[in-house]
Amino acid sequence: MPGETKTIVLVDARNVLRSRWPNLREEDLLERCRAWAEREGVCVVAAFDGRAPGDLIGERADDELLTVVGTGSESADDWLTRRAAALGEAGEVHWLVTSDRELRRRAGQHASRLIGGGGFLRELPEQRKRHDY
């Protein structure tokens, strides 16, 4: 529906990356998050401690489905807690993706859904294999 607000899914990106061995590459996580967001009709905000892929510090909206955040000197946990509080105060529907119990306690109180990092990774579509010819 035009004008319909999509659910915002806040992702503790490094927590998700570490939920599988071998760890997923950052760029692969972002590609899979975008495909999942399109399939689910949501918007993903992937927050990385420090620098995000592309040496990013700050926020970059790649498109209407994916926003990437590099938190710089602030921890991703603090950034996600602050963003979740702002969304909660604004009455915006959001989910939180992390397996971090402390982050769930701090940022999950207004979330409509809490998803563990490993469970989220299993929900993400597999990437197509790339072939170099």
How many CA atoms within 13 Å lie on the side-chain side of 12? Answer: 29
Q: What tens digit of pLDDT does each residue of 82-112 get?
A: 999 999 999 999 999 999 999 999 998 889 9
What is the structure's pLDDT at 23? 83
Give the residue among 23, 13, 12 at the shortest CA–CA distance from 102. Answer: 12
First to last CA, the chain: 42
Q: What global pTM score does this model have?
A: 0.91
- Helix (H) or strand (E) segment spanning residue 94: strand 94-97
Q: Is the pLDDT of residue 133 over 50?
A: no
- Which are the contacts of 82, defined by CB distance < 8 A and separation ≥ 6? none
What is the structure's pLDDT at 20? 86
Q: What tens digit of pLDDT does each residue of 52-72 get?
A: 999 999 999 999 999 999 999
Strand, helix or coil at 45?
strand
